[in-house]
Structures are given as structure tokens and as C-alpha cells.
């Protein structure tokens, strides 16, 4: 009797899982029309990728099949290096991340009746100019001043813009999104205003010529890998209010020689300072009660400065990292 009951329950559960799988599969059924793959979302078509190589001036269609194109997926134009200009129709009201980040675009154009997006001097913004969505990789500027009134720099907005050497951010901006400046190889300076409270995941990763970053006091969140592979970065002062130095935040910052950690920090996560080979000393405040094992992996010249009987002293002993006691 028990086996029959168990089997009936298992059959019922399998039936429910199968039904959920079928529903999920139907929702993500990939369709094809013209040169595009797409899926249906909320009655509209979301472009997920091209069916053939794209070049030159790309005009996003307003319709695929019988469905209005309302969205462009996050990786829809991945590897489309030869696209040089993008025109958006009035129907597109959602752009996930920056799907154009690897295209060699010189400018964006947006249909006048589009209710959500607009182009200003070839740069893509939302209609209220609160968010900078995408900066063209091939826009011929050495420096760019983000317009006043912008409150957030979107995901991958400046991604791989390797011609830019400087970006000025106004004090209206509060959020620098994930991957915002990833791979901006030529970038040497970014002025982050006091208004910014959050710096996203991978925000400045791979900015190999970035030599200095002043993090304002209002910053309370620095995302994982935010400054990884910033070879030229030499000095960082982490602001009061930041409670955690996340995973790989300063990974492979081989030029880093000075870091100041405030008393607000309680944890240092895995590989946070891995391969910071020129970092010779680092003071760990008493507030730190958690350091993951590989936080300082391959920091071969590092000596930790710790308080006697602190968590940091115990960590240094357990991981055979040289340490000295603070003189304060």
C-alpha cells in the first residue's frame, strides 16, 4: 500500500514538473523571421540574435512575423563587430543591458516616435535622459562629459570603448552599473562625484591604463571584480560606509601599492587582492571579522598590519602571511 501511495505521489510530481517544463519551453520557443531569431515576451517579439552576419548600418525591424519588436535581448548582437550604426524603431521599449557593446558603432539613431529611447549626438539615452544606455565604441572623442541630469550609467554603457581616455560624471549620477566601463583600455581618468552610492559588478574591469580612482564618501557598495585587471591603478582609498570588499575586487591590480581600508569593512572576500604583487603592506582594521582564504593569494611581498589578538592576526597565522602589529 505504501509503495503504491509513494509511486502515485512520484507520478503526480513528475507530471507537475513536466507541465512546468512544457510551459517554460513554450514561453521561450525560438522563432525565425527575416534575418532574425526571436522569442515572444508579453505579446511582443524580443530579438535574441541574427541568422546571418550583420554589417554596416543596421536597422532594427519594427515587426517580426505578426509581432511588434518590443525588446532586444542582452546578447542579441554579440560578436557583430562589423555593425557601424544602429537605428531603433518606435516599437522597441526595452533593451536588456547593452547588446551593442561589441559592435563598432559610430552612432545611434532612434525613431522620433519612440516613447522610451532617444539619441543625443549619437549616444543612446532613455527619453527622460536619466540613464545613459550605450555609448558608441567608434565615436571619435578622446573625452566625454556625461550630461547633467543623468542619474545612472547603465550596464556595459561604455563597454570596450577603447578610444576614450577620460569620462566626466556629473553629480546627478548615483549608480554606475555592472560592466559600465569594462574593457576601456585607453581610459586613464574617471572623476566619480560624491553623489555616487553604488559601483556595479565588473564596472571598471580591464581598464588597464586607469591610474587613479577617487571613491567618494557616499559609496557604500563596490561590486565584485569592480577594478580587476586595472594594471595601472596604484592607490585606492575605500570610503567609510563600505562594509565588504567583494570577490576579486582588485584582482590582478599589479601596480597597486597603497590601499586604505576603513573601520566600516567587516569582510574581505575570495581573491579580493589576488596577484597584487606590488602591495607590500596593508592595514586590516579590528572591524574585519571575515577574510576568505584566498583573499591575498599570490601577494608574495605582502605584510599585514594587524592589532594584537584580532581576527586578522589569527588569519595571518593560519595562512602563513607575514604580519606586524599596529603601532596605534
**179-233 pLDDT, tens digit each:** 999 999 999 988 899 999 999 999 999 999 998 888 999 999 999 999 999 999 9
Average pLDDT over residues 28-32: 90
Confidence (pLDDT) at 328? 66
Fill in the DSSP letter of residue 158. T
pLDDT digits (tens, 9 = 90+) for 113-160: 999 999 999 999 999 999 999 999 999 889 999 999 999 999 999 999
Contact 268, 245 (CB under 8 A): yes
State pLDDT tens for residues 293-303.
999 999 999 99
Burial of 140 (0-12, 13-18, 19+ CB in 10 A): exposed
C-alpha distances in Å from residue 275, one per residue of 237, 255, 295, 297: 19, 10, 10, 6
Pairwise CA distance, residues 293 & 28, whole Å:
41
> CA–CA separation, 167 vs 156, rounded Å?
14
Cα separation, 306 vs 286, whole angstroms? 8
CA distance 131 to 118: 11
Tens of pLDDT, residue by residue over 249-274, are 999 999 999 999 999 999 999 999 99
Provide mean pLDDT across the span 306-328: 95
Quick check: 196 and 220 in contact, CB under 8 A? no
Amino acid at each position: 500500500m505504501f509503495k503504491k501511495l509513494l509511486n502515485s505521489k512520484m507520478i503526480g510530481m513528475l507530471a507537475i514538473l513536466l507541465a512546468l517544463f512544457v510551459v517554460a519551453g513554450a514561453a521561450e520557443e525560438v522563432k525565425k523571421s527575416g534575418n532574425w531569431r526571436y522569442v515572444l515576451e508579453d505579446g511582443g517579439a524580443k530579438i535574441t540574435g541574427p541568422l546571418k552576419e550583420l554589417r554596416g548600418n543596421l536597422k532594427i525591424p519594427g515587426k517580426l512575423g505578426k509581432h511588434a519588436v518590443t525588446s532586444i535581448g542582452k546578447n542579441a548582437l554579440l560578436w557583430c563587430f562589423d555593425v557601424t550604426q544602429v537605428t531603433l524603431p518606435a516599437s522597441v521599449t526595452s533593451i536588456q543591458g547593452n547588446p551593442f557593446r561589441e559592435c563598432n558603432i559610430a552612432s545611434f539613431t532612434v525613431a522620433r516616435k519612440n516613447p522610451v529611447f532617444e539619441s543625443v549626438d549619437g549616444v543612446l539615452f532613455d527619453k527622460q535622459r536619466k540613464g545613459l544606455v550605450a555609448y558608441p565604441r567608434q565615436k571619435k572623442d578622446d573625452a566625454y562629459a556625461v550630461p547633467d541630469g543623468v542619474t545612472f550609467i547603465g550596464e556595459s554603457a561604455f563597454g570596450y570603448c577603447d578610444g576614450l581616455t577620460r569620462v566626466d560624471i556629473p553629480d546627478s549620477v548615483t549608480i554606475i552599473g555592472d560592466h559600465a566601463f569594462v574593457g576601456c583600455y585607453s581610459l586613464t581618468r574617471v572623476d566619480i562625484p560624491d553623489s555616487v552610492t553604488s559601483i556595479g559588478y565588473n564596472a571598471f574591469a580591464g581598464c588597464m591604463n586607469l591610474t587613479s580612482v577617487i571613491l567618494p564618501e557616499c559609496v557604500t557598495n563596490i561590486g565584485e571584480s569592480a577594478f580587476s585587471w586595472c594594471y595601472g591603478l596604484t592607490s585606492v582609498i575605500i570610503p567609510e560606509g563600505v562594509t565588504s570588499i567583494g570577490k576579486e575586487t582588485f584582482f590582478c591590480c599589479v601596480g597597486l601599492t597603497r590601499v586604505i581600508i576603513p573601520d566600516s569593512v567587516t569582510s574581505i572576500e575570495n581573491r579580493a587582492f589576488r596577484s597584487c604583487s606590488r602591495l607590500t603592506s596593508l592595514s586590516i582594521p579590528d572591524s574585519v571579522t571575515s577574510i576568505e582564504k584566498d583573499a591575498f593569494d599570490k601577494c608574495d611581498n605582502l605584510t599585514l598590519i594587524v592589532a594584537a589578538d584580532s581576527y586578522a592576526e589569527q588569519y595571518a597565522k593560519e595562512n602563513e602571511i607575514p604580519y606586524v602589529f599596529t603601532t596605534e
